[in-house]
Structure 1
Amino acid sequence: MKRVGAINTLLILGADGGIISSLDHFRSDRFIENYQWLLSNDLIPDKLSATFVIPMHGRTYIGPITNYAGFQLFDIVVPVGPLEHPTGVLLAKVDATILWQTLEPRLARPGVITYLVDGRGSILTPHADMKYDVGHLATPLDIIRALLADSDWKVERTYKGLSGNIVFGTVSPINIVNWGVISEIPQQQITKHIYNILLQITAITVGVLSIFTFLGLALVKRIINPIELLSSDFKRPGNRDYSPSQAVSSIKELQSLTDGFNSMVSDINNNEQQLHKLTLAVEQSPNSVVITDIKGNIEYVNPRFTKLTGYTYEEAIGQKPQILESGINKPESYKQLWDTITSGKEWRGEFYNKKKNGEFYWENASISPLTNEEGVITHFIIIMEDITERKNSEEIILKMAYHDQLTGLPNRTLLIDRLNQLLARGRRNKSLAAILFLDLDNFKNINDSLGHAEGDNLLKEVTERLKKLTRSSDTLARHGGDEFIILIEDLKRVENITKVVEHIFSEFKKPFVLNGQVCFVSTSIGISIFPDDGEDVNTLLKNADIAMYRAKEDGKNTYHLYEPAMTERTI
């Protein structure tokens, strides 16, 4: 169906005022507020025209003539969808000038002025013999006042017409559009024949206008039917019904609207399925997932987070991730973290965190910024993996690599590392250090008589007694078998080592209870001094060992400081 020539614009508007479809191909993202030229100037307080608001309340609206860019336009607007809650409106912008140009040749009679007035009494159509322009408010005329008052007009009455002459007039209301057709003929020309012609003109005018109105309403009906079907379709996605619309229209724009709806619901369905999968992935992730705003306030945590930390979803929301802080992580690491993510980069690292119940645990964390379409950071996402078991395993492996399995003391490998560090500090601070080499006397007899298990128990008990005699800055290590090494750092004077040795011998004077038997065990001690007896690890250990064997030779249960002559004797 072709658009009627007098219809300037045909629009379908949604409930928000957005243009859904147009016969003049307006862009769909235009809004009614940006196109007030399409509407009446009779604005209501909320800045939307009555042209839109009245139909949205379920009533047909026919507007006054407005002048735009030389066009005399008026609106016919009907609601779309249920009258109680319309889903939009259909707006037809009619060009009164074209309409009148179509009708005027059929109505024109010599000496007769025929014109239209609207519901306010404004002149809608021009005539060469009029003294007034279109849009003039002609309410001073008696015949127009009678029209507006819906009262009978007696045709024998005369009045001063629009030409300025005394005229006879007839009035025919057009109720469907709230207009009236006025025909005037000068009093001096009126005759019975002319009067009859005047009535015929009025009847023809009303008939033509009625036909035009019928055609317009037929066009509206043809548009409304698919629109009503589509309006009901638009409700279905809210109930997760994404089946395509069955609305069919021969009007290209309306069919495009149906195709657009079907494409939209298909996209929504696909996007929702994708979102559902992503939601399941996050909700069922074995890692903790936290989303914060740009200030670090928590907006989301997944079930793994609540299970691991002990904080409920409600307790976590609005808090900051610092609720997990153990107090052990270095403050500078947090600053480096924040500088990284606020610059748009990803940060990775480990945290030693604390659960709600006070239990500590290790996490490997990845923190990334989330940005909007303009690239502005709006949120941060934190993905954390509990690595406590791995850390514990690493610690056990590390301890096994550097500690004696029986006594838990540093083994020879860690001893060498500690001794190297001690020597480096000694050189830097120009300080003395002592290396005590202890070997238990007659340990083989304990193993042979009481068994290796009791021998091991003896070594454990010796370890505990020696621990009580060493400072936190000193190192007590098991060198192997029944040999122990004590590293004493920052020795003020060589003579001070005598006090340490005396304390050791005092501990060994106390009996050991092995397998229910009381045993006495002694030890022989060799001592080397840094830097007097050597400046490297091997030399100092070798010289302390030599001094220990000298103590054995002197009857055991004694000690000797290393002397160069001992080396010569050994050789």
Structure 2
Amino acid sequence: MKTKHYIYKNLILFSVAPLIIFIAILHFVAWQEQSTDFENKLMLINNNAVQDIGKFIRERENLVQILSQIDRIKMFLAEQQKGDLATENEKLYINTIFQRIQENQEANLLQDEKEKIVFELNLIDKTGIIVASNITTNIKQKSPKFTELQQYNNNDNVYISNLLGDYNNKTSLLVFAKPVYYKDNYVGFIQLIIDKKNIEINTISNEYKTVKLLVFDKGSNFIKKSADNNNPVMKDVYEDNEADSELISKWFSVNKTEQSKGFLSYRNKNGQQLAYYSNIPNTSWAVVATADKQELIRLFEKRILLASLGVAIFCFCLALGGWILTQKITKPLQDFIEILGKVKAGDFSAKFSSKEGEFSEVAYIFNTLMEKINKDKHELLQREECHRIIMESAQESIFEWDLEGDTVYRSGKITDKYHYQKIYDEDHKIIPPHTFFVHPDDRELYLNHMRDVLAGKTVPEIDIRARLNQSSEFNWYLLISKAVLNEKNEVSKVIVLLRDVDKLKKEVEELQLRAQVDLLTGLYNKVTTENFIRKYLNNNARVGKHALIICDLDNFKKLNDTLGHAKGDRLLKGFTENLKLSFRKDDIVGRVGGDEFIIFLKNVKSNEAILSKIEAVQKALADYYDINSRQGEQVCIADISVSFGVAFSPADGITFEELYEKADTALYLSKSRGKGRLTIFTQEKENDLT
């Protein structure tokens, strides 16, 4: 049988050849990865050492820098320069500083280590003589490296020497120095001398055991070498001859610059070696990390052997399993191909029967799938019919925008299908159909909504004002949009539903308006008035000048008691009708009590503007009297007038409560001084009232 022979041939071909090719590729890729990892680990170890030594240098630089800025040290050197003898207190002060620094440096050292480690802090005058030191025997001695330091006295940076030898019978020392200035005059140096043993470096690699670290100064002097990783104690080795002479020779041939870094390859008695070097930032020192390449090769060979063995076992098992599987595939496979041919011809009633292992599951799934296809086919026909009926009878307007066909299908009370010409905005973004049927104030909201839909985002419902044709009025609609994706997961269609909510929207607005106004006067009620003023002050209290006015009708209760509440209500209505005409649309006018009103004026230019408004209010009351008197009606037997209290923001307060309290105080003063008056709040008036 062709299928069986084909399977046998391919099992042999794809179990031996792939194994050979895969092992070869595995060797190549693994070697590349292992080499890269080896180099990266070497770079990482080097960089860690650079950071540690850089931190060590910066700490010493900072120490010298700080000491050079101490005023008493500057003055001490200046007095030495003039020939003045320093007082005992000044000497004691400087010696105390140096001794405490030394104690801090030796805090974690054992006694024998303190005796071995060199740490000297010297204060040097302009002639190079040590005038103060934590080592008393150094005083009055000539400073080492002073000739080189003199060339550095105009440099504001800290001087770092090369490795220094033969100083006080000690070798391997480093000098940090900083010129000291007093009143812009050079007066000497702060000098720190330390042993290179103070520098601590360790290799950090659990994987590679031959990694070493070496440190060179700017003169390419060998400063320090870390311990070999094979030594668990990790003791530092100080002798120069411990460094590989081949590496040092290679290092001297490198063209070193401030930013130099890179790899070096060399051979020594142990074989091929690899080194990585880099400079310590802001210094001329360099760190070199070196390792034996033979270690890389040994580690690589071990990994390749294990990987190859695993691949060989895997391929063998795969070939064996494939051969067994072949025995159970060919017959059911032939039957299945015949059934698929019937399905291709349109016979979805065909059944596949097999009891051979997994093919029994395939048969069950296939037969279940065929039954579902038949069922879904009938349901789809029914849904299409229902959808057609719903689309034809729906009260909403439903739009189907086909982006690929450049067509719009609209269903609802009318049904049509038409082509449209694509229109783009200035940013070359497509403008959706019917954009110009949307109210101009809602057009930006509509465009952002549709562009989010075109981007495949899930968007919320929005309310917009629109008209379905150019001759109709704008109504409120609820807009619901949904994107339809094609097989490329791109938006191919957009379904839009417009539901007429105009009546509901206007009813809600009407209810909201009723809840905000006073039913008798049509002005804002107390709650709404206070909320509007608070909201405005929260955002604008400190910007511009605003006025809160409380006005109260004088003797209004007497009018109610004598002429009745009907006359009183009529007076309030007539008064407030004229009151509305006296103020701007953006001013806040409200009734907060029976005969008490609040007026909030925004951005008042001057007090004269307030007076003109007050005159308008008084005129409104006078006009009401005049009109009703001419009609022969008794309007009042009491002396009705208006009293006012005024407070300004931000001068008198920035919150509603503060302004109301001040304006109410001013109103009280108006009423107590004869009524029918205007009082502007001042602190002096409040004090008089108190």
Q: The TM-score by the shorter chain falls in which range? A: 0.3 to 0.5
Higher share in helix: 2
Q: Which has the higher contact order (CA 8 A, sep 6+)?
A: 2
Tell me the TM-score normalized by structure 2.
Answer: 0.40
Name the larger-Rg structure: 1
